[in-house]
Structure 1
């Protein structure tokens, strides 16, 4: 029974190479992290920060997985990466200083960060980690100040720059551009039908409606071809 559950829960395994092979994503993520460390180190050496800052902020690793392994995801686009990470870090620092109690500051920071990311249309899961990290840092013994925004800003800038260059270089337009499939002469469904079904399911799917529409159109063409 456990084996069946694991098989159902596990995503389809990817080949090492190919259109979206895991090797392409792994190499891109490694390049982005290396550049982020180098750029941040350069900025820190020429800046007069009073406290030592990290070269890399941990949530950047999760952002890199999204940007390079699922570059078509709405959660992995440039604005969600930039806005989600930076807005959440600002919220974390602010709440950490205002409240001063680590667990309470972290809880409220995550709550507000999710709300702001949703309202600003930049929902990005690693942003939640940024909110927690910066709230705990500001409210904890180290008392992080606003200089700590320098590290994550340089990290995010490097990640987005490498993401844009590398994804486009390897055949994955980023920001993502949905595949345009000509509609069928007699449509089997409409975009409104897709929206209605999604509303009935009452679930958030990690795929753009235009991509979902293109997939369904291509699937119908395959079926008619047989």
Structure 2
């Protein structure tokens, strides 16, 4: 018989306040990254400053990934750049092609997911960029390619600062799996289990292998 505690789903591990991956580190990175992206974008827009936003909402979600889970495949530089920018372009193009906001938004998000998956730059905020641009392109004052300017500036600045911040706080970015001794090759077993599960996990096979190797070494030494 399953009791209430057994039926409760496992919650994500709570981040400590300090340390290399503490929530203070992530929060500070978000504050500085968004502030810098907004300031630089506002200065770059120049004469377009009154007509275009200096920040776009999906950037907030990108900041969470970049500064809180920098080892995630969804938070790598190519994912942030390719996912956001590719999806924004698709949103604008599909919005102008379809004209209808309901249809354009639906197709744009689906197309963004497909494109990001095929190009290995899957990034959840990219779906938000596709939706935002599709709705903007079908609005009362249809957006044109000029709307890409703040998005491009936002994403480039966030990635640039993310690279500096993560690397200076002990988290190589782009992420590289830890180098570990390989007395026992378990890579094939890891990949076989992933194939059996038939699920997409937010972690690379290299990191999973390094994690299992570390657990095995800890057991042997303990």
Contact kept, 8 Å, 2:87 with 2:129, in 1: the verdict is yes
Equivalent residues in 2 for 1:160-199 (5 A)? Answer: 160-184=159-183, 187=184, 190-199=186-195
Q: Hey, what does 1:65 align to over in structure 2?
A: 64
Partner SS, residue 151 of structure 2: helix
Contact kept, 8 Å, 2:89 with 2:130, in 1: the verdict is yes
- Cα deviations across residues 22-48 of structure 1 (Å, max 9, x unaligned)? 000110111110011011101111xx4
Looking at structure 1, the residues matched to 107 and 7 of structure 2 have their Cα atoms a distance apart, in angstroms, of 34
Q: Which moved more, 1:172-181 or 1:9-18?
A: 9-18
Please give the TM-score of this superposition, normalised by the length of structure 2: 0.95
Looking at structure 2, the residues matched to 224 and 157 of structure 1 have their Cα atoms a distance apart, in angstroms, of 45
Deviation at 1:50, TM superposition (A): 9.4
Looking at structure 1, the residues matched to 146 and 14 of structure 2 have their Cα atoms a distance apart, in angstroms, of 42
Q: How many aligned positions are there? A: 220
RMSD, aligned CA: 1.7
Equivalent residues in 2 for 1:131-150 (5 A)? Answer: 131-150=130-149
1:148–1:4: structure 2 CA closer, same or farther, 3 Å change rule? farther
Structure 1: tracts of 5 or more residues without a match:
none
Q: Hey, what does 1:25 align to over in structure 2?
A: 26
Q: Hey, what does 2:9 align to over in structure 1?
A: 8
Looking at structure 2, the residues matched to 49 and 18 of structure 1 have their Cα atoms a distance apart, in angstroms, of 41
The correspondence for 1:218, drawn from 198, 206, 214, is 214
Deviation at 1:6, TM superposition (A): 9.6
Looking at structure 1, the residues matched to 8 and 61 of structure 2 have their Cα atoms a distance apart, in angstroms, of 24
Partner SS, residue 8 of structure 1: coil
Contact kept, 8 Å, 2:42 with 2:49, in 1: the verdict is no
Looking at structure 1, the residues matched to 20 and 200 of structure 2 have their Cα atoms a distance apart, in angstroms, of 26
